[in-house]
Amino acid sequence: GSGVSCCQLGLPQMRLQDSGSIIKAVSSLLGMRERECRRRRDTEEKLARIQSDNKILTGKVKRLEDRVATAQDRVKEAEARLRRAERDFRQKLSGAMQERDDWERAAHQYRGRDRQKEVENRKLAQQYVKLQRQASERLIEKRSRLSSGGLRGGSKIRMSCPPTVAPEPYGDGQSGVTTPPPAGGRGPGGGMSNSL
C-alpha cells in the first residue's frame, strides 16, 4: 500500500508463484516444528511418568527388601529356637534313657535279692520242719521213758509242750529257731501237752 516495490528495497523481484512456494515451505517448516515440539513434549511427559513409576517401584522394592530382611531374621530366630529345642530334647531323652537303665538295674538287683530270699526262706522252712520233727521225736522218747519208769497212784505228770520254732521275719537273714526247753520244763505257754 505504500507503493514501495521490491526493486526499491533491493530484493530480487519474485513472481507470484515463487511467493506461494515460499509460503508453503514456511508453513511446512512451521508444521514440522510444531510436530517436533509436540513429540518432545510427549516424550518429556512420558519420561516424567517413567521416572515417577520408577520412584514408586523403587519404594516398593525397598519395602520388599525390608520385608525379606525381616523374614530372614525371623527364620534365623526360628532356626535358633529349633536348635535349642532339639538340644533340650536330646538332653531330656538322654536323662530318661539313663533313668530307665537305672530302674532296670535296680529291678534286676531286686529280683536277684528276691530269689536269694526265696532260697533262704526255703532253707529256713526245711530247718523248721526238721526241728519240729526232732522235737516230736524227743517228746515221744521222753514219754516212753516216763511210761516205762512207772507211774505211781495214777499221778499225772505235767509234760512240756513241743518246742516252738519261730521263723525269721522276711529279710533278716538270721535263724530265728528257738532251742527246746529242758526235760520236764514248761514250754513258752507253760501248759501241759494234751497229746498223750
Q: How far is CA 151 from the centre of its chain?
A: 87
DSSP SS3 for 134: helix
Assess whether pLDDT exceeds 80 at residue 161.
Answer: no
DSSP string, 64-90: HHHHHHHHHHHHHHHHHHHHHHHHHHH
Q: For the chain, how many residues are written? A: 196
Q: What distances in angstroms separate CA 170 from CA 27, 107, 116, 119, one per listed residue?
A: 133, 19, 11, 12
**Considering just the CA atoms, what is the radius of gyration of the chain in Å?**
66
176 and 168 Cβ atoms separated by less than 8 Å:
yes
Compute the C-alpha angle 166/167/172, nearest 5°: 120
Kindly list the domain boundaries of the chain, sorted by start residue: 14-143
73-100 confidence digits (pLDDT tens): 999 999 999 999 999 999 999 999 999 9
36-82 confidence digits (pLDDT tens): 999 999 999 999 999 999 999 999 999 999 999 999 999 999 999 99
Q: Where is pLDDT greater, at 175 or 94?
A: 94
